[in-house]
Structure 1
Amino acid sequence: MPRPTPASGPRVVLIGPPGAGKSTVAAALAQRWQLEPRDTDTDVETTAGKSVADVFVEDGEPHFRELERAAVATALDEHDGVLALGGGAVLDPRTRDLLQAYRQGGGVVVFLDVSLAHAAPRVGLNQSRPLLVGSPRAQWQALMDVRRPVYEEVATVHVSTDGLRPVEVAEVIESRLRDQRVSEAGA
């Protein structure tokens, strides 16, 4: 299948909560399309020289969000593969503006959605997730209550990952992109 071709930037950007499978689906899509995957959490870790959890603990969430915002801007500007954003990246208004500009240039933002029942085993809801410390299930649900409307606002495509393997999610994304192009061509 021909891959989407925005004017510039990644072929597709994946957003969604912890446990949705953004990184693994990015790798699956990148392999299918013979592109490179990129994850902004990994970019932040490279810049900071430590894990996301350590940045949160040692430097605080505001510092992490600054690093994340810069990582997203850089990746949108220079990466032409499949890009996975950290779960909270879309909460920043400047990042949403960047994603809107990317979409206006022909880019596709895919919201990988997941239910708590399917996210829990994937992320373990453990303390390596800094925003899920305390009562992880309740924290995850609270995050989703706040983030879901933002994910839905930013996304051009919405895909549930519940019960699907990463390669199956990649197939669904390809199908949705194909349907979207057919619909746009007929409009």
Structure 2
Amino acid sequence: MSTKPSASIVVLIGPPGSGKTTIGRLLAERLGVGFRDTDTDVEAVAGKPVSDIFVEDGEARFRELEHQAVRTALAEHDGILSLGGGAVLNEETQALLDGHHVVYLQVGLSDAVQRVGLGSARPLLVLNPRSQLKKLMEERRPVYERLAVATVVTDKREPAELADEIVRGLPA
């Protein structure tokens, strides 16, 4: 029996609106494995939506729960894993991603805004969502690029096409 922890087949990272959940579900279906989203895990632990965690408990508490969710998922889940857009900002999380097949879903501002919507309930995009999203994307891009073993540009492309591209890029 192996003592090596299971490793997710693919870990999807990227900003809000990049398609992590949609593409992740398609990938899981194509590969016949499970799909897991760490934001959903955080909500289950906290017993409330991410937006409520931010408002009631603060961003620091959310980031703590998020890191715990990522650590647990990386250790337990052997399918497709989608991380919240800011999860990669935690240095410990970055270290945990080493050795995993991390795919950065890169999206342009225009497509991200269309997907997220300007009336978004996303806590970090409440005031001036377009400007906030642009700032988040610019700040996080270097981290996404450094952690990824593959980058897939999602602009003006269908989720099925993107899932197929990711499958073709998986190691044999």
Q: Structure 1 unaligned runs (5+)?
A: 1-5, 182-187
How far is 1:176 from its partner? Answer: 2.5
Partner of 2:123: 130
CA contact (8 A) 2:5 2:75 kept: no
Decide which of 86, 105, 111 is 1:88's aligned counterpart: 86
Partner of 1:157: 150
TM-score, length of structure 1 as denominator length: 0.87
- CA distance in structure 1 between the partners assigned to 2:33 and 2:6 by the alignment: 15
Segments of 4+ moved more than 6 angstroms:
none
- CA distance in structure 1 between the partners assigned to 2:10 and 2:154 by the alignment: 17
Q: Give the 5 Å matches for 1:40-119.
A: 40-100=38-98, 103=99, 107-119=100-112
CA contact (8 A) 2:28 2:34 kept: yes
Number of aligned residue pairs: 169
Partner of 1:25: 23
Instruction: Report SS of the residue matched to 2:94.
Output: helix
How far is 1:163 from its partner? Answer: 1.1
Partner of 2:113: 120
1:31-61 Cα deviation digits (max 9, x unpaired): 0001110000000000000000000000000
Matched-pair identity in %:
56
- CA distance in structure 2 between the partners assigned to 1:76 and 1:11 by the alignment: 10
1:59-95 Cα deviation digits (max 9, x unpaired): 0000000000000000000001100000000000000
CA contact (8 A) 2:5 2:76 kept: no
Larger proportion of helix: 1
CA contact (8 A) 1:108 1:156 kept: yes
State the Cα RMSD in Å. Answer: 1.4
